Structure 1
């Protein structure tokens, strides 16, 4: 498997042919489309609701639709990138993003906007797994490890663009209305396509006999989509659980497992995951990490507004240190060994969750800023190192699919976080609700810390 670490780049001269600034810029540009669309919609929900006379429980489908499409689309696009060529899939994704943006701009009803978000979600799912597949192929061709700077750039691009999403959305709404938050995808997709055509290496000729149907496992994709959809609907109303939906979701997962174990080229290679415990552990660790992180991002900001009486802009400003620190720490962690960085990251995550237990309406500003910084540190450490661990642990010929599945676990954590926040807060975010949420997150983080410290799959791979 190789050493599970984010390897420091070699000399500029050695890396220039395959990992120059243009290559990094092109793969990073495509990778920002998904996080931007994940966060930009937040400031447009109220305006869209007014435009179509829709309540919050209906407009939130604009958020959930993208998460669901991305959770399914990331491994799907990764699988296609491995088999049909990453550059082809990358370009196809930019076309879908542009089409989805245009559909949303013309949206005549809320269902049309939900459909547009699904198309955008599928399109933005292509860039990250395709980029990881291209990095693997270039590294193999050059006979070198992937530079830590390239992996760091992908992580930083996602973090920065997620932070930029809400203020960009506010600016677009102020100048062009909520439809502009969809239309902005057209020039962004065009820029991504131009950069890919100009700067990304051409794919090798497709293997004879590799059809779209054979590369995709349509039945596996449909079963996975159905199971996630039913599970999402169940999680959206945990306060009034409809247990029969959970039963249906579990049944569909059972059918999916049976099917994937039966076919020769499964959508999700369960046999590989069963034998590759290191990679499976990374997926679970990343999913739990992002569950806690998204609970902080959305739950903490909600409490700042409703629990302390701050404005939305003030709550947003208090999040800026977290994103800024995460960006700086990511660049640092990309050139460090994975296991120590993961231990430090999960330790910071645990400390941050514990600090939430101490917050209240009268907490001074400096303490709130300190909490924001701590979560920025854990974010920077955990994202780039889990990404590096996945890259080192995944089979070389399945890098795209493995990268896509990593993002699927991220969005499963995001979906679960919304349900957990609603369950802890109820009708309104209060100090007591924040403490209930923090207690749950602290326990989850402690378990994560202990399992990371004693994870022999990381240490056995040469990480100390």
Structure 2
């Protein structure tokens, strides 16, 4: 039975369930694997040099796949891509559940993580496409509440992911961290099949669909794969990857400037300086965030001599504060104030790190994490809102996918930074170097925010988006 159309002027809240489920698939699998690497290595007899690919595989598949799947969403609509993504997530969960325990099986798990990464690529681009389509249908220029719900959902999952992983491993073993994708994948398929529209109005008519730019996709994939693998394994032995990345990147530029329907429209992107700055801010935000989440955590255990449980508790204020400020400021569509506050807060967090020693009291660590939580919530929320306004409506999904590529590139840059700074052990001296790195990145972030005049007009003089409860009250009146 067909669903009744949503009331005019109101966001179709039935879309929230598939949007939220689709959006959490990637962050939950990014977070949950952190506590599963050691148990998997022990069970399969695999060294850390192999199990680390369980992390890298998802990053690589997602960084390359999100713009591709986003482009397909722009052309064919959300439903088919969303359903295919959910099915792939379920398949990846089944692979992890069924493979035998042997040293060779670790590579089956790596393959499952690649499938999982590709399956999760549809969630965020599809959600941004739906929000843009609903914004046009309802006439609401800034659906700030819906964007806030999406941001808070992904942040909440990042908080509970490691804890959930630990509980699942304790109850059913490491396979549970893969098996959890079976119900999640099936839930997304069922919700998508029932609630998602076949067409949203942003897709081109069937007879006007652009051709898929296969060569552009190939050049992009080769360039990104070579670059990301090099960044994750910087050494003389991997230098040969750089010329491959450069040649593939040059071929991508040459191709995209000469076709009518490019995979990445470089002509439009090159003329959209504000959007390029938004992508840059996403990369810088991820670099700072992951430097703290992983680099700071290593120091808490090595330099501050906390056990893993205590280190995890020290990090909780980051996510709690991030969620709190996102909820507090999310209804306002303006982005400049959020970015400025976030810039100053992450700069302050970097400065606070410089005064830490092996005897720093816990309260000081907690205060630093609370300060860091401010940009964690405000920057991500503002960047998402900025992308919504700056991207072309007909390319909103692929633009959102490219935003995630820059975010994961920032995560990989962070791993390179703290990996090279620390070496074999996370020392206090190394932590101070990371503090200076964060300060430098924060200054760059602040400068490109202050100098970006386009941010001043986003959300200005737009009415505050009413809460769903307020919408219901208005309807009752």
Aligned to 2:164: 168
Q: 1:201 to 1:462 in 2, by over 3 A?
A: closer
1:208 aligns with 2:229: no
CA contact (8 A) 1:283 1:406 kept: yes
Q: CA deviation at 1:139?
A: 1.6
Q: Tell me which of 170, 176, 179 is aligned to 1:180.
A: 176
Cα displacement string for residues 235-273 of structure 1 (whole angstroms, at most 9, x for unaligned residues): 123366743322322222112211222222111111111
Q: Tell me the SS of whatever aligns to 2:198.
A: coil
CA contact (8 A) 1:339 1:463 kept: no
Between the aligned partners of 2:401 and 2:199, the Cα distance in structure 1 is 19
Q: What pairs with 1:407-422 in structure 2 (closer than 5 Å)?
A: 407-422=404-419
Q: Tell me which of 94, 99, 103 is aligned to 1:102.
A: 94
Between the aligned partners of 1:166 and 1:391, the Cα distance in structure 2 is 30
1:39 aligns with 2:39: no
Between the aligned partners of 1:171 and 1:343, the Cα distance in structure 2 is 38
Between the aligned partners of 2:402 and 2:72, the Cα distance in structure 1 is 13
Aligned to 2:52: 60
Aligned to 2:67: 75
CA contact (8 A) 1:74 1:408 kept: yes
Q: CA deviation at 1:232?
A: 2.1
Q: What pairs with 1:29-428 in structure 2 (closer than 5 Å)?
A: 29-108=21-100, 109-203=105-199, 207-209=205-207, 216-238=212-234, 242-336=238-332, 337-428=334-425
Cα displacement string for residues 2-58 of structure 1 (whole angstroms, at most 9, x for unaligned residues): xxxxxxxxxx98654x332x3223211211110000010111101111223222121
1:23 aligns with 2:15: yes
Q: 1:63 to 1:93 in 2, by over 3 A?
A: same
CA contact (8 A) 2:9 2:139 kept: no
Q: 1:459 to 1:112 in 2, by over 3 A?
A: same
CA contact (8 A) 1:291 1:416 kept: yes
Cα displacement string for residues 295-315 of structure 1 (whole angstroms, at most 9, x for unaligned residues): 111111111111111111111
Q: 1:168 to 1:215 in 2, by over 3 A?
A: farther
Q: 1:62 to 1:191 in 2, by over 3 A?
A: same
Cα displacement string for residues 205-261 of structure 1 (whole angstroms, at most 9, x for unaligned residues): 9733577xx554222222222222222222123366743322322222112211222
Aligned to 2:471: none
Gaps of 5+ in 1: 1-11
Between the aligned partners of 1:463 and 1:431, the Cα distance in structure 2 is 44
Between the aligned partners of 2:459 and 2:153, the Cα distance in structure 1 is 28
Cα displacement string for residues 180-216 of structure 1 (whole angstroms, at most 9, x for unaligned residues): 11010010111222222333333259733577xx554
Question: RCO higher in 1 or 2 (8 Å CA, sep ≥ 6)?
Answer: 1
* TM-score, scaled relative to structure 1: 0.92
Cα displacement string for residues 59-117 of structure 1 (whole angstroms, at most 9, x for unaligned residues): 11110110111111111111111110112211111111111111122234111111100
Q: Tell me the SS of whatever aligns to 1:362.
A: coil
Q: 1:15 to 1:37 in 2, by over 3 A?
A: farther
Q: CA deviation at 1:463?
A: 5.1
CA RMSD of aligned residues (A): 2.0
Q: 1:215 to 1:416 in 2, by over 3 A?
A: farther
Between the aligned partners of 1:352 and 1:240, the Cα distance in structure 2 is 35
Q: Tell me which of 450, 453, 456 is aligned to 1:453.
A: 450
Between the aligned partners of 1:313 and 1:345, the Cα distance in structure 2 is 28
How many residues get paired? 449
